[in-house]
Every structure is written in C-alpha cells, then in structure tokens.
Amino acid sequence: MKIAYFDCPSGAAGDMIMAALVDAGVPFDAFRAELRKLALPGWDLVRREVKKGAFRATKLDVEIDGAVHRHHRSLADIHAILEASPLDADVKAQAGRVFVRLADAEARVHGGSRESVHFHEVGAVDAIVDVTGGVLGLAMLGVGAVYVSALPLGGGFVDTAHGRMPVPGPGTAELLRGFPIVDTGVRAELVTPTGAAILTTLGRPAASLPPMVVDAVGYGAGTMDLPGTPNLLRCFVGEATGAAGVETIVQIETTIDDMSPQLYEPLMDRLFDAGAVDVFLTPVVMKRSRPGTVLTALCQRDRLDRLVRVLFEESSTIGLRWTEWQRATLPRETVSVPTSYGTIQFKVSRLEDRVVTVTPEFADVVRIARDKALPVREVLDHARAEGRRLLQR
C-alpha cells in the first residue's frame, strides 16, 4: 500500500501540504484543472520554485481576484459547494470530514454546535481550495494511509477575525489534541487551522518515519522566512514495507472496587480526550472475595502524564501501574463508499495489498436504519458485506 509521511519541522499550512504533494509528483496542470471544478469564482492556483535556506521547494499560491468577497460561510455552505462540484465522491467526502473537524473544534472553543459555526478565515476561497487540494493531492498519488511527525507549536500572537490571539490559536490547539507537539522556540504561527485540520483528520501520529520504500520526496514552502530554519514541509511517499507497523505503546492500569459504575463513562471519555488509543474494563475478584474492576488504558508514551492526571482526578484510585509494550498494527484508512443504502464511511485495514477488515461507520449504519425503518443489525450485516465486495473489487 502506498503511504505518505509528513515531516513538519517548521509546521504545516494548507498551501504547504498542497505544494509538497505537487513537488512529490502530483501533475500540476491536472491538479489545478480538478480544483477548478469547485463552484468558486475568482481564483487561480500559481506554482513557482523557491529557495528556503539551502533547500529548493515548490510554492503554491491561491491568488484571489480583488473583487471577490471573503465570505463567512457555515459548514452547510461549504458542504453545498463540495457537493455541487463534479469532483470524485471520495475526495468530496474526505474534504467534508476535514471541515466537520474544523467546525467541531470551533464549536468546542467558542460554544454552540457545529451547524452554528460561521467560518471566517477557513471559510474563504483560498482555505476551501487548500483543504480540497490537500485531499485531492493524496488521492492523485494513490496514498492509502497518512502519517504525521510531531508538530511545532510556534508562539507569539496572530490577528484573526476574532481579534488578537496567542499562537497557537484556540481552534488550532483543539485540533492538535491527540497528536505530539514540540516547542522549537520560533515565535510565529507555524501550524494554521487548515494545516492542522488536514493532517489530524487524514493522518495519524508517527514518532518516526514508518517502514517504507521511498518513491518520492516533496518539499512544500511556506510564505514566511523563519529565523534560523527553512520554512518547509517535507512529504515522503512510497510503498509500506512489512506486514504491519510496529510501535511502542504504554499500558496503564488500576484496580478499583469503590467507585459508582455511572462514573466510568465520563472517565473513559476524558481518557480518550487526553490521548488514549483504547480504554477497557475487566471485572475481577479481589481479596476477601470483593468484586472489582481493572481499568486499562493504552496510549503513546508522550500522553502518559495526561492520562495519569485524568485517572487521579476522575476515579477513586490512589495508585497506578504502567508498562511498555510492543504492538503491531495494520495500516488503516477511512474511505467513503457508495452503496445501495447510500454513501457509507468504512474503516479499512490491509495486509500488504489485501483488504483484511472492512468495518462500516456505526453512526452511518444507525442513521440509515432509522431513515429506512430497518433493524440496525440487518443494515450492519448488509453494509459490511457490500462494502467488502466493492473494496476488494
């Protein structure tokens, strides 16, 4: 399976992601022609070669006609723009997922629901092109899984439609939850909301370059010139090697016998918010035959401190234990598949080039069952079988 690894020493923005993918081999003229299918007037995509420090890189600029009004669009407005275009259905669905993640981040920060959010900067023409272009570039390269390095926070202040805000902005900070971050000492906005949304929606965190045979390396240039470091995003594209990716993970446990069962659900929600990749409960019999529960959480090493704090705050435990384990994981991706029930998102894993698991998104299954007045189990079984047949084809 073809994979992409984004190395982000200087951060990430939507135009940098597009530029790195074009530099890695996406045909620019065909790429621009596809993006022009968006129902957005008054823009053009311009490519040029630049130097950032000692590096040659590709710079892409979305040039906007001065007469074009910078709209404040809602999530529904952006979905309508995407759906009205003749772009590939999967590209539209993935771009829509990125904007849903942006809307959820803004709603959490500013209050309200995703439907009530009005995008300012990220509702403008250039941001819509950036997000759609990032998704489209990966599709044109045939990338099946995306990995992302640690992202630098940046610092200082930036002027936005909501006023002057510290870097990273609250929306960007929300999007970065669950992904490793570093402080490189640079006082500038290094990760933009669109850059964060694209990489954290489509990718998964990786502490290092995953095992792969590299076919191409693309360099996407940012606009700013940063002190002491080239403002670049680097993208490695190639074929995954090995049957599965091996990584080190931390398993943290505690045994509890004095907590109300009602408190486990909010505890588990907070653990996932803090970066847990899995949480589960195991019933046990303790000394003097007391019933108890072993709570187990799995996380990356850099998330351990956060999970420890949550467990002490939200549970009745007074002690924790943890250990490191090696685990192997199959490459996974989320794809949108048109089925007889309509478009459903599937989580797909592969062993080398063979599809191993096909799991329909349960929320889609429940929605379809409700709309069609069918049993959920029937829709789930049918969707799984149809999805596997279509994806294996």
Each residue of 197-233: pLDDT tens digit?
999 999 988 878 888 899 999 999 999 988 888 999 9
Residues 94 and 112 in one domain: yes
Nearest to 328 by CA among 177, 178, 199, 211: 211
Please identify, among 220, 240, 260, the residue that sits at the C-terminal boundary of a domain. 240
Position 351 scores a pLDDT of 78
Residues 195 and 130 in one domain: yes
Entry pTM: 0.66
- The token pair at 177 is 């939850």
| Cα–Cα distance, 212 to 191 (Å, whole number) | 26
Inter-CA distances, 371 with 130, 316, 342, 364, 367, Å? 34, 42, 11, 11, 6
Residues 221 and 316 in one domain: no
Residues 32 and 153 in one domain: yes
Inter-CA distances, 284 with 97, 266, 318, 319, Å? 40, 21, 18, 17
Residues 107 and 208 in one domain: yes
Residues 90 and 189 in one domain: yes
Residues 116 and 213 in one domain: yes
Residue 115, H or E segment: none
Q: Which amino acid is at 179?
A: F
Asked if 209 contacts 199 with a C-beta cutoff of 8 angstroms, the reply is no
Please identify, among 329, 345, 378, the residue that sits at the C-terminal boundary of a domain. 329
The CATH number that applies at residue 311 is 3.30.70.1380
Position 161 scores a pLDDT of 63
Position 120 scores a pLDDT of 61
Residues 367 and 228 in one domain: no
Residues 82 and 177 in one domain: yes
Give the domain extent around 265: 246-329
- CA 324, chain centre distance (Å): 25
- The token pair at 172 is 């960007």
Residues 234 and 286 in one domain: no
Please identify, among 277, 312, 329, the residue that sits at the C-terminal boundary of a domain. 329
| Cα–Cα distance, 362 to 72 (Å, whole number) | 32
Residues 253 and 230 in one domain: no
Categorise residue 306: left if φ over 0, alpha if ψ from -120 to 50, beta otherwise: alpha
- Exposed / middle / buried, residue 108 (Cβ in 10 Å: 0-12, 13-18, 19+): middle
Total domains in the fold of the chain: 3
Asked if 358 contacts 373 with a C-beta cutoff of 8 angstroms, the reply is no
pLDDT in tens, 243-259: 556 677 899 999 999 99
230 contacts: CB under 8 Å, gap ≥ 6: 10, 52, 53, 54, 55, 57
Where do we find the tokens 């951060």?
A: 11
DSSP state, residue 225? P
Residues 66 and 210 in one domain: yes
Residues of the chain with pLDDT under 70: 66-71, 120-123, 160-163, 242-246, 352-353, 393
Asked if 34 contacts 136 with a C-beta cutoff of 8 angstroms, the reply is yes
